[in-house]
Structure 1
Amino acid sequence: MKESFVSIENLDLKYQQKSVLTDLNWIINKGENYVLYGESGSGKTALAKIIAGLQNAIGDVKINFNAKSHLPEAVLFVESWYQFKNLEGVANFYYQQRYTSQQAKDTLTVHAELIHYGKEKGLHFDQVEPILEALNFSAFASSQLIELSSGEHKKLQLVKALWLKPQLLIIDQPYTGLDAASRKNLNVLLDEVSADGVQLLLICNDAELPTSINRFAEIVNEQIAISNSKAVQLVSNKKHTKEIPDFLKESPAFSSDNVVKMVNVNISYGEKQVLKNIKWEVKAGEKWLLQGHNGSGKSTLLSLINGDHPQSYANELYLFGNRRGSGESIWEIKQHIGLISPEFHWYFDANATVWQSIASGFYDTVGLFQQLPYTKSAQVDELTAYFGLTKSKNELLSTLPLGKQRLVLLARTIIKNPELLILDEPCQGLDQDQTEHFNHLVDELCSNGMTLIYVGHFESQLPTCLEKRILLEKGEVKVVESLNIEILS
């Protein structure tokens, strides 16, 4: 007879008077490793937090730990979104601070963070080293937490979880921000801890999963539907019949034929060289795919283009026809650019409303601090409707599911019909239909001549308009090539 490990009975969860989970019942038996999937906003993360004891709900949740196991009697929830703190225990950082932290030294290094975690949990440090190597994370030991990209932060949280090996390990979006090699190695590590007695609950819609996964659960209509195999998610045949707003059909006004030009660009932090002799030219109207392993230098490269990196002045870098440091301000640069990235999402003002968040894109601020003229207000309304966010326009950004938050920031990115669109893993947290919807929009925008730099690890989540690819490896340009659109699509 099967023995239950997690038992959930008559679970009800409401959020702002709206039912999310209703009379939900779910039994996870010992030895069952689950994937929990469903549409964005269906309640997956909320349910996981309830199981982990991090969120309250009406109902009964019992966990039957194995007292004879050598593993800790614990449930560990690894968030898709991780907020680190500085040495004073404060998480109040600003976006550009990541690139100036060498002067401040105000956060722990990765090594110090792991030492602290190991002492807190009573773990042996020699046991974490194989995990660091498997996830290609050993080289980040001396890096401060604030210097890490979203993918690198994800790796750090995964390293801790795999090191601790709790009896129940719940990971929200385990593959977000990870390159292909890291995703593969993570699955091997998850299979290893499963063989050692850890039960897994992964929240994701991904197809490449650990072989130890043997159960699937989907949240449908506020209930759990269970099967031994995942329902096939066919590519949506839904036609996106909404017409793109007229103000986004206009071709951007280019200030130069060369949007970006880098000549032997080098970026170093002390003795650590992050970018080495980068030569790259992006001409007006080109559509580029930027790729590379975690830690290859992609985020640093983009920070130079965004005007956020102070070392740009020490290099031969041209943006929109002007050499960097020739008198233009960071805000003058940002007027040409629409940007979305996981890191920017971290630092955005979550207490702004949906409407305010989108409108702030006109002024490149992290909140709306002035009243919009009628024409701009109308454009915000149009774009809010296009993304299906009209009903949520007065809600705080922080109250929305992660997928909808990302859609809001995507709308903010394009509101001013920028000369250059920089999309750094824009589909993180979106479900399949939202991803298709957004990439359809990107294709439409770029058909009007907009310049695009797109960062994406998953080839199934790329727009079809991409024409060229630049690949970074250990801070150097490894490949520059034209793309075969059919392969990518």
Structure 2
Amino acid sequence: MSQPVVHIQNLNLKYKHKVVLRDLNWTINRGDNWVLNGISGSGKTSLAKIITGTQSAVGNIDINFDTTSKLSARVMYVESWYQFKNLEGVANFYYQQRYTSLQVKETLTVEAELKLFGKENSLDFAQAEIIINALGFAGQKTSQLIELSSGEHKKLQLVKALWLKPQLLIIDQPYTGLDVNSRKSLNDLLDGIAKAGVNLILICNDTELPESINRFALLENGQIVEVSSAGRLQLDTDYSLGEIPEFLRKSPDYSSESIIRMVNINISYGEKQVLKNINWEVNKGERWLLQGHNGSGKSTLLSLVNGDHPQAYANELYLFGNRRGSGESIWDIKQRIGLISPEFHWYFDTSSTVWQSVASGLYDNFGLQLELPYTKAKQVDDLVAYFGLTDIKNETMGTLPLGKQRLVLLARTIIKNPELLILDEPCQGLDQQQTQYFNCLVDELCSNGMTLVYVGHYESALPTTLEKRILLDKGNVKVIEEINITEEAYSSSN
């Protein structure tokens, strides 16, 4: 009988005074392909890093590679969060830099990054090309790393992992940021490498999984609990919202009937045209769903609205009734907008406490050093309590699991009751309970008249308040229509 690939005995991990893993035992045999789920903060990512050898813990872990296999004798971990570096080896970027320095060669291109990875691991680039094409990633080969969206960064890491074919591959949130077609293609690719002998561990709460997945487990109370099927992995989503803070029960103080108006908007980077003749109008109180394949132009479109893209001045763009460039500052625009996006999260200062981070949304900065007046401080306290964050309000963001960080940023986004709420895949990193909780909150907020632009791929993870949809395809507006999110037709069209 062959040895198991991974054999874990009595694994223990504490963070400060919290027990994360408690006498955990887990055996992964050859041919076992697992999905692991659990609430945010349960220790899934820590366990993955311990297996990979990048985080220490108390206990025994034996990893046994097959010395007769042609597969790489490695454990590879694809993180849910990827931090890239510039050409000088520095990772200290700022949020708007993605749009303000695209003509400057500050980071490697996708193709250069992959060729470097291939050289380091003695891989044939022709094999990478097959994976790139299967994931619909060929159009980004000449893009710099700083230009990529969160979904495109995920694809880059997946290409590396699928190309390398390690004997054990652990992927944290494999479908994060991927559109419907890319998720299907990824499942086919994962089935292919599993057939070749790669053992898989997918950390996720998705139900549309590769056919090769044959083992299922929850991480509960610091231990592995095996279950019989993917359906058993679904967490209890019975949420009862508390009373929404009083300052968020009133309608935003609108300055104009028109919130966004775009007239023949075109955005190009050299020869590459990202947006083509976009015409779109959003009026106050409307709730829009923005969709499109990865790389369709969604992030660029939102960067124009949020005041981050310099090419806004070369186009006919009206925000809150004023033409862009007519004298308003970027801070005049941002004061009217609440924004959350994966890219914004990348660049957020995680040295601030939870309370400071939420409060910073009042002034659109990345931290808060000044003292707030009593009424503003009470708003922060009320919102922190509403999101269930009171017990961790003095902890720094960097010490929290990703899901908790995202909840803090969501609270920050709505603290000023903005005229326009932009939620770009806001539930990335949240478990099912947190996702339902937040979308119920969005529904309640918008019932009082808040204007919403929401980016999301999953029909099951959308607020019910959405009423209109704009669909982008290769930089063009493909569809503008009225929607009912209980319908299934549009969920499969992007």
TM-score (norm 1): 0.98
SS of 1:300's equivalent in the other structure is helix
Question: Quick check: 1:242–1:386 contact (8 Å CA) kept in 2?
Answer: yes
Mapped partners of 1:159, 1:103: distance in 2: 25
User: SS of 1:487's equivalent?
Assistant: coil
C-alpha distance in structure 2 between counterparts of 1:121 and 1:2, whole Å: 27
Counterpart position of 1:407: 407
Looking at structure 2, the residues matched to 96 and 18 of structure 1 have their Cα atoms a distance apart, in angstroms, of 37
Match of 1:225 in 2: 225
Partner Cα distance (2:193, 2:241) in 1:
46
Alpha carbons 2:50, 2:57 under 8 Å: kept? yes
Q: Give the match for residue 35 of structure 1.
A: 35
Q: Give the Å deviation of 1:228.
A: 3.8
Preserved contact between residue 291 and residue 457 of structure 2 (Cα < 8 Å): yes
Residues 236/73 of structure 1: CA separation in 2 closer, same or farther (3 Å cut): closer
Aligned to 1:136, the other structure's residue is in SS state coil
- Counterpart CA distance in 2 for 1:228 and 1:54 is 30
Q: Does structure 1 residue 262 correspond to structure 2 residue 252?
A: no
Contact 1:261 1:318 in 2 (8 A): yes
Task: Name the counterpart of 1:323.
Answer: 323
Partner amino acid, structure 2, of 1:445: L
Cα displacement (A) at 1:74: 0.2
Q: Aligned partner of 2:251: which letter? A: S
Aligned-residue offset at 1:234: 6.1
Runs (4 or more) in structure 1 with deviation over 6 Å come to none
**SS of 1:157's equivalent?**
helix
State the alpha-carbon separation in 1 of the partners of residues 166 and 235 from structure 2: 36
Unpaired runs of 5+ residues, structure 1, are none
Corresponding letter in the other structure for 2:283: K
- How many angstroms apart in 2 are the aligned matches of 1:121 and 1:160? 10
Q: 1:134 Cα deviation (Å)? A: 0.3
Q: Name 2:153's counterpart in structure 1.
A: 153
Corresponding residue for residue 186 of structure 2: 186
- Give the 3 Å change call, closer, same or farther, for CA 224–325 of structure 1 in structure 2: same
Once the two structures are superposed, residues 229-265 of structure 1 have per-residue CA deviations (whole angstroms, 9 ceiling, x without a partner) of 2343668563424100000001001111110000000
Determine the structure 2 residue equivalent to 1:486. Answer: 486
- Indicate the residue corresponding to 2:60 in structure 1: 60
Once structures 1 and 2 are overlaid, which stretch shifts more, 365-374 or 343-352? 365-374
Amino acid at match of 1:166: P
Offset, 1:101: 2.1
**CA root-mean-square deviation:** 1.2
- When structure 1 is superposed on structure 2, of 208-217 and 103-112 the one drifting more is 103-112
- Aligned mates of 1:32, 1:279 — CA distance in 2: 51
Check conservation: 2:239, 2:436, Cα contact below 8 A.
no
Is 1:172 the counterpart of 2:172 in the alignment? yes
Q: Which residue identity is paired with 2:253?
A: A
Amino acid paired to 2:359 = A
Letter in 2 for 1:273: Q
How many residue pairs end up in the alignment?
489
Q: What's 1:204 paired with?
A: 204
- Tell me which moved more, 221-230 or 298-307: 221-230
Equivalents in 1 of 2:353, 2:42: separation in Å?
Answer: 21
Partner deviation per Cα, 1:54-108 (whole Å, 9 max, x = no partner): 1000001110100000011100000000000000000000000000222321100
Deviation at 1:141, TM superposition (A): 1.0
How far off is 1:217 after superposition?
Answer: 1.4
The match for 2:381 is: 381
Counterpart CA distance in 2 for 1:112 and 1:233 is: 39
- Partner of residue 450, structure 1: 450
Alpha-carbon offset, residue 368 of structure 1: 1.1
Q: Distance in 2 between matches of 1:244 and 1:313?
A: 38
SS in structure 2 at match of 1:170? strand
Letter in 2 for 1:213: I
Q: Helix, strand or coil: the match of 1:378? A: helix
Secondary structure of the residue aligned to 1:103 is coil
Q: Is the 8 A contact 1:353 1:394 kept in 2?
A: yes
| 8 Å CA contact retained: 2:205, 2:233 | no
Of 223-232 and 164-173, more deviation after overlay is shown by: 223-232
Distance (whole Å) between structure 1 residues aligned to residue 259 and residue 167 of structure 2: 52
Residue 476 of structure 2 aligns with an amino acid whose one-letter code is E
Supply the distance in 2 between the matched residues of 1:241 and 1:177 (Cα, whole angstroms).
Answer: 27
Q: CA deviation at 1:226?
A: 1.3
> What corresponds to 2:107 in structure 1?
107
- Asked whether the 8 Å contact 1:101–1:147 carries over to 2, the reply is no
Cα offset, 1:2, TM superposition: 5.9
Q: Which one is further off, 238-247 or 421-430? A: 238-247
Kept in 2, the 8 Å contact 1:101–1:146? The answer is: no
How many Å separate the matches in 2 of 1:412 and 1:156? 30
Residues 299-308 or 36-45, more deviating: 36-45
The separation in 2 between residues aligned to 1:387 and 1:59, in whole angstroms, is 35
- Rounded to whole Å, the distance in 2 between the matches of 1:195 and 1:229 is 20
The Cα shift of 1:3 comes to 3.4
Which is worse superposed, 98-107 or 45-54?
Answer: 98-107
SS at 1:275 equivalent: strand
Q: Which residue of 1 aligns with 2:468?
A: 468
Alignment partners' CA distance in 2, 1:234 and 1:135: 27
Shift of 1:328: 0.5
User: 1:460 is matched by which residue type in structure 2?
Assistant: S
CA distance in structure 1 between the aligned counterparts of 2:234 and 2:104, rounded to whole angstroms: 49
Partner of 1:361 in structure 2?
A: 361
Matched with 1:302 is 302
Instruction: Give the corresponding residue for 1:11.
Output: 11
* Aligned match of 2:312: 312
Cα shift readout 1:455-480 (whole Å, capped 9, x = no counterpart): 00111000000000000000000000
Counterparts of 1:235 and 1:76, CA distance in 2: 27
Letter in 2 for 1:480: I
State the distance in 1 between where 2:87 and 2:156 align: 17
CA contact (8 A) 1:52 1:76 kept: yes
Q: Give the match's secondary structure for 1:117.
A: helix
The residue that corresponds to 1:425 in the other structure is: 425
Matched AA of 2:343: E
C-alpha separation between the residues in 1 aligned to 2:269 and 2:237?
48
Contact preservation (8 Å) 2:3, 2:64: no
Match of residue 393 from structure 1: 393
Query: Could you tell me the TM-score, scaled by structure 2's length?
Result: 0.97
Give, as a single letter, the amino acid of the residue that structure 1 aligns with 2:140. Answer: F
User: How far, CA to CA, are the matches of 2:96 and 2:358 in structure 1?
Assistant: 21
Contact 2:103 2:269 (8 Å CA) reproduced: no
| 2:125 partner amino acid | F
- Contact 2:259/2:320 (8 A) holds in 1: yes
Please list every run of 5 or more consecutive structure 2 residues that lacks an aligned counterpart in the other structure.
none
